Amino acid sequence: MNQFFSDWNLLLKPRVSSLVLATAVPGLYLGSQTSPPGLLLFATLFGTFLMSSASFIFNQVIEKDKDAKMKRTANRPIPAGRISSLKALAVGFILMTLSFAILYYFANLLTALCAFSALVAYVFLYTIILKPRTHQNIVIGGVAGCVGPLIGYAAASNSLPLPSWILFLMIFLWTPAHFWALAIFLKEDYSDANFPMLPVVKGVKETGRSILFYTVLYVCSVLYFYWAEPSMGTLYLISAILLSAAILYLSFKLFLNPEPKFARGFFFFSILHLFLVNILILVDHAIA
C-alpha cells in the first residue's frame, strides 16, 4: 500500500503543483471585488491541481525511456515498470477531463482554457518539441508553469487584466534561472539522457551568466508589480526590495562560482522567494 501511494505521488508531483496553486491564489483575490467565495476558491485550486497532475503524468509517459537512463528518475514508477504507460495515460486523461469540467462549471470557460493551455504547452511545446532539441527549452516551454495568475484572475473576474500578465511575466522570468540552477547540479544526469540542457551544451560558466541575467529581469518584474497593481503598498515594496537583494546576491555568487553546492542553494531559495512574493501580494492586498 505504501508503494502504491509513493508511486502515484511520484506521478502526480503534488509538491511541484503546490507552486502553481500558490501563484493562482493572488489572482483569485486581486481579481475579486471582495474575497472570492470559498467554493470558487476550492474548485479553482482543485481543478488546477488536477490539470497540473495530468500534465506531469503525460510528461513521464513520453519521457519514460530517457527517465530510465537518469539516476534521479530511473526509479519512477513508469520506467521501473510498476505502473504501465497505458494505465498512466488513462488516469491522465481522466484527470484532464475532470479538471476542465470543474473549472468550466464552477468558474468559467476562460479559466478552463487557461488551465488546458498550460497542459498543452507543457506536454507538446516543452516535453515533445523543445526539451529534446534546444538548450533554450525552458525559456519558451516554461510558459506552462506561468498560467497560475491567469487562472486565478480568470476565475475571479472572467478577464485577464494587465496585473495578471505582469504576474505571468514574473514567473516566466523566474523559471529559467530556477531550472538552470537545478540543471547545474544534475548536469551528468541530463548528459546521460542526451537532454541538451544549458550546462551540458554551453557549460556551467555560461549557465551561471544566464542565471544572473534572468534573475535581474525577474527582480525587475517583482518590483514593477508595485506600480502595476494599485492595491500594492509600502509593505510589498520594502519586502520585495529586500527579497530581491537576497536573490540577486545568490545569483551573483553562483555566477562567480558556478558549482553544484551554490546552484543547489540558489535553486531552493528561488522556490522560497516566489512563495514569499505571492504571500506578500496577498497580505498587502488584504491590509490595503
pLDDT in tens, 117-156: 999 998 888 888 877 777 777 777 778 789 999 999 999 9
pLDDT in tens, 67-111: 888 777 788 888 888 889 999 999 999 999 999 999 999 999 999
Instruction: Identify the pLDDT of residue 87.
Output: 94
Which grid cell sits at 172?
516566466
| Alpha helix stretches (DSSP H) within the chain | 2-12, 14-30, 38-62, 64-67, 85-106, 109-120, 137-141, 148-157, 162-185, 187-192, 198-202, 204-228, 234-256, 260-287
Residue 171 contacts by C-beta under 8 Å, 6 or more apart in sequence? 23, 142, 145, 146, 148, 149, 274
Q: How confident is the model at residue 174 (pLDDT cuts 50, 70, 90)?
A: very high
Number of Cβ within 10 Å of residue 256's Cβ equals 10
pLDDT in tens, 14-42: 888 888 899 999 999 999 877 899 999 99
Instruction: Identify the pLDDT of residue 75.
Output: 84
Which grid cell sits at 204?
556551467
pLDDT at 1 over 70: no
Q: How confident is the model at residue 3 (pLDDT cuts 50, 70, 90)?
A: confident
- What SS3 state is found at 252? helix
Region 214-234: what's the mean pLDDT?
A: 94
Most distant CA atoms of the chain, gap in Å = 53
Instruction: Identify the pLDDT of residue 161.
Output: 93
Classify the C-alpha dihedral 215-144-99-101 as positive or negative: positive
Residue 51, φ and ψ in degrees, nearest 5 = -65, -40
All structural domains of the chain, each given as residue ranges with its CATH number in brackets, are 2-287 (1.10.600)
Q: Which range (4-18, 38-52, 215-229, 232-246) has the least confidence? A: 4-18
